[in-house]
Structure formats: structure tokens, C-alpha cells
Amino acid sequence: MKRVIVLAALISFGMVTLVAVGAQQGEMVVEVEQVADNLYVLRGGGGNSAAFVTSNGVVLVDTKLAGWGQPLIDAMGELTQNPITTIINTHSHFDHVSGNVEFPASVEFVAHENAKTLMEEWNPVTGFPGDFQDVFDQNNGHGLPTRTYAERLTLGSGDDQVDLYYFGRGHTGGDTWVVFPSLRTMHAGDMFPSKQVPIIDQSNGGSGVEYARTLRLAHATVTDIDAVITGHSTVMTRNDIAEMADFVDAFVAGVRAGKLAGRTAADVASSWMPAARFRTDYDVPPAERLEAYVQVIYDELDGQ
């Protein structure tokens, strides 16, 4: 038998209540942060999931690593009797989609059309050596998107409305931005993972050169929001998207300058530092991983 435990009601800060619900299976604990009456961020086991409780059912954004589908189902069962009816995947990465296969076929699986292709292809992730089990292949394609879109898709209406946007390449070539208009909140997926040099996954359609433009388009288009659920960090603000765009722009400019000066990607990666205004808040990966993203930008500039 699975054991579901409620760990504790922990902290309140401002209007946000933080509740930890443990769906415990071995070490698997889903931590739940309530960000609105009917919106939760579910942490642990990969990317941040979001659960939007509508009158008809729960819309779940992202399903974490392999094995984390059932803990998500258990955690939501503690919070609402409404079944999970819709799963939106922000992009194709293993740490955001692998739990899909643990949900029943009655669930509608929604993603950008490019993300569906990438989930089917299951390419390695640039800068992340390692073989991640192809859960869709293992499950005869169950859990792959059953509904896709190209530019924009609206699900539900009124207070239950969810808007999906594709603003272009960046982290991958099929990143969806999920907006909950009634709650003035957006899930940015890994286009905004945290304040850091983002993963630029060339082998899954990502682009360093286009990254900041995509962030700016999201910021300029989706104006009626306050809160932004990030792919792997805390809930941030709409202004933080614009700041992230500036940060990525500065990174790409630094790489471009290095290339023009004839330096190697390894040399640029080992010496690049964020400008002073970013240095406190933004993380830079170790040089060997940074080099992979510098190389992606080098390759893109070569092709221009």
C-alpha cells in the first residue's frame, strides 16, 4: 500500500501559504506551495509542476521525472477531489514529462507540436551527458501529447481559462508558456528555469541567439500577470522575465565578442563572468557545462 502523509503546514508569507504534502514512496516527497485558492506549485522530482483546480478537473502542468506521476496524483488527492483531466507539458525534457505515463488514457495530454515531435525523438540533452529512459517508448507511446498547437491555444473559459503560447526557440524548440488569466499567473517552464545561464538544448531545437528575443516576446505579449512560476526555482515576477532577457542578451553578446576575437569556446567559458548588476542573483554553471552552451552559440553564429 502507498502511504500518503501530510508533513506539516509550514510557513505563511504575504498572501502565499506554503504547505508540504508528502506523497511518500521511498524518498519521493512532493512539496506543495499554494500560490492562489486554486493554484499550487508542486516541487521535487525534477521541474516545478503546477496544478490549476478548475470546476471540471485539475489542469496539471509538467509531470517530473520517471516514477513521479503517482506521487503527483497522491499529492493532488490530498488537496481536491477533482480528478486530473488535463496535462500540459511545457517542453519535452525528461524531468518535465516522464510522469505522464503514470496517468490514465482518459487524460488529455497537451503540448506544442514541436515538443510532441521531440518527445517522440527523445534526443539527448545538450550539455547533459546521460541516458534518460525513454518512458514513451517503454509504454508504447502512452502519455505522448494527444493535442497539439502551433502558436496559441485556449483551454476552458471564464475563471477556468488557460492560455498556451509559443513564442519561439530558446531552451528547446518547443517551449510552451502557460497562462492562468484569472489568477494573473504564468508558468514559464525552463525558458525561465531560475536566475541562471539557461540550458540551451541544441539537440532539441534550442537557440542561444534567439533566446532573449523569445523572452522579450513573452514579456511584451503577456502583460496581465504578476506571478511567474519558474521551471526549477521560486515564484518570480513579470519584471524578472525582462531582466532574464537582459542577462541572456549580455551572455550572448559576451560569447559573440569572444568569437570575433578568435578565442575558443573553452577559453570564453572559463573566463566569462556576468556583469556586476547580475552577479549577486544569477548562477553560472561550471565551465565544462557552460562551454557546451558557448559552443551552441558559436555554431549558430557560424551558420549566420
Segment lying near Zn ion (by CB under 5 A), choices 58-66, 73-81, 190-198, 245-253: 190-198
For residue 247, the minimal CB distance to Zn ion (Å) is 18
For residue 114, the minimal CB distance to Zn ion (Å) is 14
Positive or negative torsion for Cα 74, 80, 86, 91: negative
For residue 93, the minimal CB distance to Zn ion (Å) is 4
Q: Which is nearer to Zn ion, 190 or 243 (CB)?
A: 190
- On whether the CB atoms of residues 273 and 254 are closer than 8 A, the answer is no
Q: Which is nearer to Zn ion, 125 or 179 (CB)?
A: 125
Task: Tell me which residues in 67-96 interact with Zn ion (CB under 5 A).
Answer: 93
Q: Which is nearer to Zn ion, 21 or 229 (CB)?
A: 229
For residue 132, the minimal CB distance to Zn ion (Å) is 11
Site mask for Zn ion (CB under 5 A), range 90-129, x = bound: ---x------------------------------------
Q: Which is nearer to Zn ion, 93 or 219 (CB)?
A: 93
Positive or negative torsion for Cα 204, 209, 211, 216: negative
For residue 3, the minimal CB distance to Zn ion (Å) is 31
For residue 91, the minimal CB distance to Zn ion (Å) is 6
Q: Which is nearer to Zn ion, 190 or 291 (CB)?
A: 190
Contacts of 93 (CB under 8 A, 6+ apart): 47, 125, 172, 190, 201, 204
Segment lying near Zn ion (by CB under 5 A), choices 34-42, 144-152, 173-181, 186-194: 186-194
Record the cell numbers describing residue 177, joined without a space. Answer: 508558456
The count of other CB atoms within 10 Å of the CB of residue 131 is 6
Q: Which is nearer to Zn ion, 74 or 201 (CB)?
A: 201
Task: Using the structure block, give the residue that is written with the C-alpha cell 545538450.
Answer: 126
Q: Which is nearer to Zn ion, 74 or 190 (CB)?
A: 190
Number of residues interacting with Zn ion: please give it, by CB under 5 A.
2
- Please tell me the distance from the alpha carbon of residue 129 to that of residue 47, in angstroms, as a whole number: 18
Q: Which is nearer to Zn ion, 173 or 258 (CB)?
A: 173
DSSP string, 236-295: EEHHHHHHHHHHHHHHHHHHHHHHHTT--HHHHHHH----HHHHTT-B---HHHHHHHHH
Segment lying near Zn ion (by CB under 5 A), choices 78-86, 182-190, 268-276, 288-296: 182-190
Q: Does residue 190 touch Zn ion according to CB under 5 A?
A: yes
- On whether the CB atoms of residues 197 and 293 are closer than 8 A, the answer is yes
Q: How would you classify the pairing of strands 147-149 and 108-112?
A: parallel
Please report, for residues 63, 101, 191, 218, 221, the alpha-carbon distance to residue 167 in angstroms, rounded to integers and kept in the order given: 22, 27, 10, 6, 9
Judged by phi (left if over 0) then psi (alpha if -120 to 50, else beta), residue 267 lies in alpha
Residues that bind Zn ion (CB under 5 A): 93, 190
